């Protein structure tokens, strides 16, 4: 049995009993075997000195487009629909086998460097197989799938697909990658958004996801222009429409959810739909400020995602947490979103969205060993009297404070050296 121990660390467990403990954390193979108690080093291959370090659950990002990592920054002055038509769709259409692989590796490198250990990812129409290859080699935990878009005159020819092709290619990928590496990789169906999908496609996705027991990952109610198109073409508000066709269920992950009325929030709550809040992207694409305090008040499960590199410029969860905390303050007051709530969204909230709350999202015996070791001693994050660790992480920490990242019991970055990506981008 392969054993790793982290000695004498501060451990942010986020379990229900002890938020933070001090002591050792033992990993046996891919799982956590002990948290907090002293571990004898005898017979343990790898001992990591955790003195002065902070161990946290790896971040779970519930809305990422690895296929857009090569297009970083391509959204300085556009709103969603123009940005898709003028920039993103033509760029996605330019992908080939190699660029899809390297785009994914570039994104994964950044994610692992900044402590993210699980992603819910949406690839482009073609070449998703090569992104899955990168995911498999890198060691990151992922739910991913090819984007589905069988509708839209303004879509470049190379991205156009018919309903049958879209469904068949998704199922082919699912059969190849779902449950790969003992479930580290899962397939998720990814209809792009209602604007790009026929009702036939969406209802087939509903049925296939139920049959294969997979998640469905899509965008919804991100931008006012988008919801106007949905209302005009389908005669209903975005979330009402998703419910009307039977897609609103606990396995649905909705990115953004900025423009919801009360009825739509009630549907999300009643159906157990999961929300992926993307504050960085919502700001940069001028989409709006999602009403997250409202949703949390209704006990909706909210998680966090950086979205793609074009509409955020980085995939760093520290950035996302900080934005999630601060953007609510001018609207709802200084206590609208406390640091612990944001940290929960970034960890256990994401695990719940992915349906993996029994496996990841907190540091507990029996869960998968997905974690990051932080060094919170640099000038910008040094402890100040009375400021707790979680507040320091949310408001002060950066990706540079992540020293080591472990996923599924494997060290994928050690002392900032990425380990498992020899064929990918060397950062």
User: Which residue's C-beta sits nearest to Fe ion?
Assistant: 307
Least distance CB 309 / Fe ion (angstroms):
11
Binding flag, residue 84, ligand GUN (CB under 6 A): yes
Pairing between β-strand 141-144 and β-strand 410-414 as defined by DSSP bridges: unpaired
Tell me if 233 is assigned to a ligand binding site: no
Scanning 80-88, 96-104, 137-145, 238-246 for contacts with ligand GUN by CB under 6 A, the matching segment is: 80-88
The answer to whether residue 10 forms part of the interface with ligand GUN (CB under 6 A) is no
Beta partners for residue 191, in sequence order: 148
194 binds, among Fe ion, ligand GUN, none (CB under 5 to 8 A by kind): none
Q: Is 65 in the site for ligand GUN (CB under 6 A)?
A: yes
The answer to whether 262 is annotated as binding is: no
Binding partner selected for residue 84 from Fe ion, ligand GUN, none, CB under the kind-specific 5 to 8 Å limit: ligand GUN
Centre a 10 Å sphere on the Cβ of residue 326 and count the other Cβ atoms it contains.
16
Name which of Fe ion, ligand GUN, none residue 403 binds, using a CB cut-off of 5 to 8 Å depending on partner kind: none
User: Does residue 307 have a known ligand-binding role?
Assistant: yes
Q: Is 193 among the residues that bind ligand GUN (CB under 6 A)?
A: yes
Alpha-carbon span 373 to 401, nearest angstrom: 9
Q: Are 131 and 103 in contact (CB under 8 A)?
A: yes
320 contributes a contact to ligand GUN by CB under 6 A: no
Residues 280-299 that bind ligand GUN (CB under 6 A): 281
Stretch that binds ligand GUN, among 206-214, 262-270, 290-298, 305-313 (CB under 6 A): 305-313
Q: Is 418 helix (H, G, I), strand (E, B) or coil?
A: strand
**259 is a contact residue toward ligand GUN (CB under 6 A):** no
- Written as one string, the DSSP assignment of 135-146 is HHHH--EEEE--
The beta strand positions in 376-424, using DSSP E, are 402-407, 410-414, 417-418
Q: Which residue in the block uniquely carries the two structure tokens 């994964």?
A: 108
146: contact with ligand GUN by CB under 6 A: no
Q: Does 110 bind Fe ion (CB under 5 A)?
A: no
Stretch that binds Fe ion, among 105-113, 161-169, 299-307, 328-336 (CB under 5 A): 299-307
By a kind-dependent CB cut-off of 5 to 8 A, residue 10 interacts, out of ligand GUN, Fe ion, none, with none
Q: According to the binding rule CB under 5 A, does residue 121 interact with Fe ion?
A: no
Q: How far is CA 409 from the centre of its chain?
A: 20
Q: Is 92 annotated as a binding-site member?
A: yes
Q: Give the position of tokens 């790896």.
A: 58
Residue 380 DSSP one-character state: G
- Rounded to 10 degrees, what is the CA torsion of 404, 407, 410, 411? -10
245: CB partners within 8 A, 6+ apart: 199, 202, 203, 206
Residue with tokens 């009297």: 385
Q: Does 95 sit near ligand GUN (CB under 6 A)? A: no
R_g (Cα) of the chain, nearest Å: 21
Shortest reach from residue 65's CB to Fe ion, in Å:
6
Residue whose pair of structure tokens reads 């059969």 in the numeric block: 175
Which positions lie near ligand GUN, rule CB under 6 A? Answer: 65, 80, 84, 88, 192-193, 219, 222, 281, 307-308, 311
Binding residue ranges for Zn(2+): 63, 65, 219, 307
Which positions lie near Fe ion, rule CB under 5 A? Answer: 307
């Amino acid at each position: 049995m392969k054993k790793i121990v982290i000695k004498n660390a501060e451990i942010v467990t986020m379990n229900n009993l002890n938020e933070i403990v001090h002591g050792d954390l033992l990993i046996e193979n891919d799982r956590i075997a002990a948290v907090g108690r002293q571990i004898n080093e005898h017979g343990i291959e790898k001992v990591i000195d955790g003195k002065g370090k902070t161990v946290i659950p790896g971040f779970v990002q519930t809305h990422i487009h690895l296929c857009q990592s090569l297009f970083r920054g391509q959204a300085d002055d556009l709103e969603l629909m123009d940005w898709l038509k003028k920039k993103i769709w033509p760029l996605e259409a330019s992908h080939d086998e190699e660029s899809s692989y390297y785009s994914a590796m570039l994104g994964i490198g950044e994610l692992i460097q900044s402590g993210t250990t699980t992603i819910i990812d949406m690839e482009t129409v073609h070449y998703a197989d090569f992104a899955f290859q990168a995911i498999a080699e890198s060691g990151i935990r992922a739910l991913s799938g090819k984007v589905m878009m069988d509708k839209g005159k303004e879509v470049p020819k190379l991205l156009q697909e018919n309903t049958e092709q879209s469904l068949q290619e998704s199922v082919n990928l699912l059969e190849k990658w779902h449950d790969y590496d003992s479930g580290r990789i899962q397939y998720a169906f990814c209809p792009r958004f209602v604007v790009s999908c026929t009702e036939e496609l969406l209802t087939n996705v509903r049925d296939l996801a139920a049959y294969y027991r997979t998640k469905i990952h899509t965008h919804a109610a991100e931008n006012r222009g988008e919801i106007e198109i949905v209302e005009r073409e389908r005669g209903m508000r975005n979330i009402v429409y998703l419910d009307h066709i039977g897609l609103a269920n606990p396995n649905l992950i909705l990115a953004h959810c900025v423009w919801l009325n009360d009825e739509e929030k009630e549907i999300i709550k009643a159906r157990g739909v999961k929300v992926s809040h993307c504050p960085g992207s919502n700001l940069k694409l001028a989409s709006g400020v999602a009403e997250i305090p409202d949703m949390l008040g209704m006990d909706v499960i909210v998680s966090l995602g950086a979205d793609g590199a074009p509409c955020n410029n980085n995939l760093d969860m520290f950035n996302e947490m900080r934005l999630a905390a601060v953007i609510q303050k001018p609207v709802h007051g200084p206590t609208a979103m406390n640091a612990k709530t944001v940290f929960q969204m970034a960890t256990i909230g994401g695990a719940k969205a992915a349906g993996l709350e029994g496996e990841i999202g907190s540091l507990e015996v029996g869960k998968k060993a997905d974690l990051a070791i932080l060094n919170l001693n640099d000038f910008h994050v040094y402890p100040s009297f009375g400021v707790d660790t979680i507040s320091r992480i949310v408001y002060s920490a950066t990706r540079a404070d992540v020293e080591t990242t472990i996923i599924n019991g494997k060290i994928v970055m050690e002392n900032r050296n990425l380990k498992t990506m020899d064929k990918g981008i060397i950062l």
